[in-house]
Structures are given as structure tokens and as C-alpha cells.
Structure 1
Amino acid sequence: MRQVLVGARLFTGERMLDGHAVVVEGERIRAVVPVDAVPTDAQIQRLPEDALLVPGFLDAQVNGAGGVLFNDTPTVEAALAIAAAARRSGTTGLLPTFITDEPGRMRQACEAAVEAMARPASGVLGIHLEGPFISGERPGVHESRFIRVPDAGDLDYLGALPARLAGQGGRLVVTLAPECVDDAVIQRLTSAGVVLSAGHTAATYERTREALVAGVRGFTHLFNAMPPAQSRQPGPVVAALEADEAWCGVIADGIHVHPAMLRLLLRVKPPGRVFLVTDAMPPVGTEVTSFTLYGRTILRREGRLVTENGTLAGADIDMVSAVRNCVRLLGLPLEECLRMASLYPASYLGLDGHLGRVAPGYRADLTLLRAELSVLATWVGGQQQQH
């Protein structure tokens, strides 16, 4: 049975449309048509006229949400719970993110993600391994005792994982420090289909440039967990700014990165190469005031998640809030803010052939927004989700 979503204004991922409807058949968008061309044999769902229907948000970095931390419980149920919690803020697809930990638990998380992807309308798009191949000089909140270099077993396992995920339209992202792996490792993982991102790194500008040539595709929460740019030590930040082809994920909570730095980044980078991530942790979507990570208490204080000594530990933000911040703090057009939360992350992950747009043939992953940019409803694979 075909269903038609009609009444709201529509943003396709490229432009705003008035007086149009979205025809959904199964899990795909069949057509975008003027309201006077709506099929007569379809089930009509009328949406509020003051609402905006947009491509569902995509988040490539979600450690937890709704009281669940993927590192604590690297299971199918945890991945699904995180995705369900994130949907309440408009995110219809995400990569549950597993930070530096024991090798066995890392593989358990990967297997959980593979299985979660197979569930209908799960919203799980693969997995992001943030570590353990990172710099001991820039661990952030990551546990230093688990930081290591990849061994032959890691390379065999991770090299085989992208093909398993790709069969279901998923991706494996691995955040690593370029100075901690050599180019042969980067080339091997990239050629296997792993999306490599530089992060938690103290790499020089020169080493970062070499890693980009070898196959590193982007940067994880740019500016954070890496040295600041200096006049004689430009480091990874300037390498990211200068490389037109490199993608940059950013946390737009006004805390992790000053808005002025984000505005500068957006002026320097080619259009489309900067995308939003939340780096969300378990308190997001709840009222809790603390949680534990590696047995340490993480406190929720005035929009920050911090250890008792003040180190940032992920972010206390959801995706629709990040979109609002891009409008209010950065002064960007709404259309561009929406792309940073949908089309651009889809492009970064190589999923923009079926996600990130409202267009025929694309998966019917949709978010309905109120005028003040809060979430009314979501659809994943054509199925409306309850919030």
C-alpha cells in the first residue's frame, strides 16, 4: 500500500518546496509530486501545515543516549535502544560508537552492530570505533591502558567487516591517530572499505597530510582531542582546513568549539565538507545528572559532561539541538544546517545514494519539524516511529 505525506512544507535536501507531497511505497520514496497529482489509490496522511518535512538526520558518532552507553553494554539491545532514543531528536540513522576498550569487547560491539542492522527499521547504519588506535598524548576521556597499535588479528577482522556491513547498506568508521599507524595499514583498511578518520591525535601537519594521501577520509570532532594550530606547528587542524577533500565532523554545542572557530571552518572548507555529530552520551534524552564511564563518575553540569577534574567526556546534545545551534549561533541558512545533519554525513559515509535526500528511490527516512525546530515525528524505512 502506498502512503502519501501531504500538508507540510518540504525540504528535499537541496531546496524547499511548497504544495508538494511525498509518496512512500514500502521502505522507499516513490515520488515527490505536486499536491494536485497525488495518487488516488494511496493512503493519505495529512501533516500540520506549519511543519517542515526534511530528510532524517544522520549521526556518525553516538556513544549513548536514553540512559544507555554502548561501551557498558555492547549488545544488539543497546544499539537499538540508543537508536530509538536518538529518533526522538530527529535522528533516523546513526553509527553507535564504541570508544577505546578491550579487544574482545570491541569485537562484541561490532557483532552487535551487524546484528542490529538486520532488524527492520533499526536506524543502525553500522558502527564507529573511536579508538583504540589513538595517541596516548591526546586520549581525552579514553582509558590509556586500552590504547594500542593494530595487530594482525585486528587488521584481518576489521578488513573483513566492511563487506559484512555493506551488504545491509552499512559502514565501519574507525578513528585513529595518523602518527600511531603507518601508511600501509591506512591503505589496507581503506582498500577494504573502512572509513578512516583522524582523531585523538598529536600528529604533525606533515604526518596528517601523508595520512590523507594514504586514505584517511576525514576528522573526528575537529579541534577536540588534538593540538591547537600554532604559527610554527600547524598540526592536524590546519591540515584539515587546507585539504579540500577532507571531511570534518564537528560538535555544535557551543562548548566543544567556539562558534567563531566553526564559522571560520565553514568559510574555509568547500561547501558540504563539514557535518554535524553529537558525540552524545547516556544522559541525552534523560533527566539524569551523572553516569559512569570506565568506572569513573561523569557529571552533567550546565550543558557539559565532565570528569571530576573537568575533562570533557562526550557531549550533552542531540541532533535537532545542533541544527538549532547552527541557525542561532552560526547564523547559517536553515537549509544548510539541515544538510549538515543529513546530506553531508550521508556523503561522508558514502550513503548519499539512498540517504540524505527526499527523492524518488531514496529510503523513506524522514523527520517532521515544528516551526521552532523541535521534532514532531520520524519515519524510518517508511515506518512512522512513536515518540
Structure 2
Amino acid sequence: MSTSRRKFVGGVSAAALLSRVSVASAQNKYDEGASDAEIKIGNTNPYSGPASSYAVIAKTIGAYFKSVNEGGGINGRKVNFISMDDGYNPAKTVEVVRQMVEQEKIFALFQSLGTPCNTAIHKYMNQKKVPQLYVATGASKWGDPQHFPWTMGFQPDYHTEAVIYGKHILANVKDAKIAVLMQNDDYGRDYFGGLKEGLGKEVGRIVKTVTYEATDPTVDSQVIQLKDSGANVFMDISGPKSAAQAIRKMADINWKPAHYLNNVSASVAAVMKPAGYENAQGIVTAAYIMDATDKQWDENPEMKTWKSWMDKWMPDFNKADASHIYAYAVSSLMHETLKRCGNELTRANLMKQAASFKNFRVPLLLPGITVNTSPTDFYPIQAVQLARFKGQTWELFGDIMHAESS
């Protein structure tokens, strides 16, 4: 004679437990790319092409989410990080992003890199209502929630950064004559517009502007043209490869103006070391994250945690490359944003949470700099501190400067 048995778990029948799970599941809200088990996050990055030095950003993000998954995921869900190579080619960006949105069914796009590449998908992402979140470019256009409510930046915007350079030049360089090297795209133009605003009525101090294409093999001829202008200030608005080339060429032709370098090319490992430390002395940039080569952070708890994390998850990579710290910081913010969504993993809620930070401390930002957003403010970080290259590292100086006081 057989006897039917009911299975009990912790004093609760299996049927009752399944019922509770079903009720809990029914209360969860999901859009495409999210479920009880996983969250699909898309990314584009130039693993190849003229901006391939930035590939370490995506590699670090991938390692970050791998470490999160090993620790149990985010609210019990694993992050499925899908990163594709676009070669810093906007047409390729459109192709791979369409693939991720329409075939891979990603929940959101995170840290897609490059101003021209993000510009190419800007309208598409907003038409599809898929978050284009914490993009890896400081163009000012990413902070326009009225017209593009599904797109948000992360770092200080290029325009504000360049305003600060313009004002610093006027205050510190006597009879400034400014030469500008500028990448010929929206990224370059954004910085250039900020520089002109910072100079105000002194904008005529710009005596020479020379552009280059991201695919150009060198900027040697451009640097020679700029020296020949008689300028005593050099504003370098270029990516890492071209920035390193410019520094080396300036040394070759013995041109020694006051030198300002945009933050996106301030990596010690990717720019300063290849250019030659001796050639980079005195360059000024704007910083908002800690630099691993700066000894003052050696005992900082956030820096020590990051170094231990690198030792475990990226042991063969160079800690002196600032892109690792940048990627870790922005990944921490994305982690927190997803965590705050709880069990309502809808795209609208993701953007709502992204637009609700108040004085939030992201690991490895400079002390005094926090993340602040609102439904009408899509600029998470609006403060920087100037730094000067000395020896083999950046030396911070002056006060933290906020956008409104720049």
C-alpha cells in the first residue's frame, strides 16, 4: 500500500513555498533584459582602432561585474555584461548597438565610449526608450533630460572643464597667446567651445587652431604649425595616442609653452610614460578621481580596497593606467543604481534611480566630490581640481572647483 507524502522545507510544505515564490515573483516588475535571474547590460568600446587604449575600461567593467556575480550578484541577480567592439567608428557603433537592443534584448547600455559614437546612437536609444547610462564621454549634450530623458553622462562635462582652463590661463600666463590642437569631431568642438567661454572677451588670445582626425597616424605636422604661430600656451584637446605624440614632438622641436591637457588623456601609464616623463613636466590638467601613482593616496581605504581588487581580478594589468580607476568608479555607481531599483527592474525605474542621487560618495572620487543628480540635472559630477605633472605623477593644487563657480 503506497502512502502519498508531502515534502516540507523548514516546517513549510513545498507547495506552500512554491506558492509564496510565485506571489513574490508576480510582484517583481521587469522590462526586457531583466528577470529573477539576471540583468543584461550592454556596452560598446574600441577594442580596436585609433582609441584602443581605452579598451581597458571595458575590460575593467567586465572584471568588476564578474566580481559582483561571484559575491551573489545584485539583489540576487547576476549581471550579464555584453561588450562589443566598435573600433571608435560611429557606423559600427550603430550596428552593434542595434544588435544588442533588438537581438540580445539588453536592459540598458552602460559606458558606451566616445562622443561621436554615442552621438550616432543618441536619438535611437531615446526613441527605443533604452537607458544610455553613464556614457564614457564628457560631452555637455548628455545632460539634456528634457529632450533626451534616456541618456546620462558620468564625468565632468568637457565644456565646464575647458572653461576652467581658459580662466586659469588668463590668471596665470602673462600676455597669453594660445595655440589649440583639437580632434575634429564633437568631442573636440565641445572642449573648444568651453575654452572660448572661459576666455570671454579675451578669446582673441587664441592665435592658432589646428585640427586632426582620430584616424591620423601622427599629429607631428600639427604641432609644428602650432609652434610656428608664436604661441606661449598650448591647449591640447586630443585622445591618449595623439596626446603622447604631441608631448614627444614638442620636446623634439624644443617648444616649451604653458601646457594644458584635457583630462581624458591624463593617464600616467597610457600617455605620460610613453611620452617620456621628462617631456611631461609642468603639464596642467583637471582631475576628479584619485590617481594610483599619487603617493598621498597610498593609505586611503578606498585606494587600498581598489588595489587589492586589482591584484585579485586584474593581476596582469598596470595600476598606473587611470582608466582602471575610472572604470571601477563608474561601475560602482552603476552597481548602486541597479541595487536601488530593488525588484522593479524597469528601464523607467533605472533612470529614476540614476536621477535621484544626493551627495553620494563613489569610491575613488577626489575627497569633496560627490554624485548629485535630479530629474532636471543629468550631470552626476560637476567638480574638479587642477593638477600639475611633477616627477612621475600628478600633483593636485588649488581648491575643488564646482561648475557653478568655475
| TM-score calculated relative to the size of structure 2 | 0.29
Higher normalized strand content (fraction of residues): 1
Higher normalized helix content (fraction of residues): 2
State which structure, 1 or 2, has the greater radius of gyration over its C-alpha atoms. Answer: 2
- Whose RCO is larger (CA < 8 A, sep 6+)? 1
| TM-score calculated relative to the size of structure 1 | 0.30
